[in-house]
Amino acid sequence: MSISMRQDRPNKNVAGPVQAVIFDWAGTMVDFGSFAPTQVLIDAFAGFGIEISLEEARGPMGLAKWDHIKTLGQSPDIARRWIARHGSAMTDKDVDALYAAFLPLQIERVGQYSSVIPGALDTIAGLRKRGIKVGSCTGYPRVVMNPLLDKARGDGLVPDHAVATDDLKPGGRPGPWMALANVIELGITELSSCVKVDDTAPGIVEGLAAHMWTVGVALSGNEVGLTLSELERISDAEREQLKGRAAEKLFAAGAHYVIDTIADLPQVIVAIEERLAHGDRP
The pairing of strands 213-217 and 194-198 is parallel
**Rounded CA separation 178/207 (Å):** 9
Q: Can 65 be counted among the known catalytic residues? A: yes
**Which DSSP helix (H) or strand (E) runs through 270?**
helix 265-277
Q: Exposed, middle or buried: residue 127 (CB in 10 Å: 0-12, 13-18, 19+)?
A: buried
**Rounded CA separation 81/148 (Å):** 33
CB 95 within 8 A of CB 44: no
**Rounded CA separation 23/235 (Å):** 29
> Among residues 12, 43, 65, 166, which one is catalytic?
65
Q: Can 24 be counted among the known catalytic residues? A: yes
Question: Residue 64: what are its φ and ψ, rounded to 5°?
Answer: -55, 145
DSSP category for residue 76: H
CB 41 within 8 A of CB 68: yes
Mutual angle of helices 76-86 and 65-74, in 10-degree steps: 80
Q: Which SS3 state, helix, strand or coil, does residue 198 take?
A: strand
DSSP category for residue 20: E
Residue 229: beta bridge partners?
none
Q: How far is CA 189 from CA 182, 193, 260, in A?
A: 12, 8, 29
> Among residues 24, 31, 260, 264, which one is catalytic?
24
Give the residue numbers marked as catalytic: 24, 65
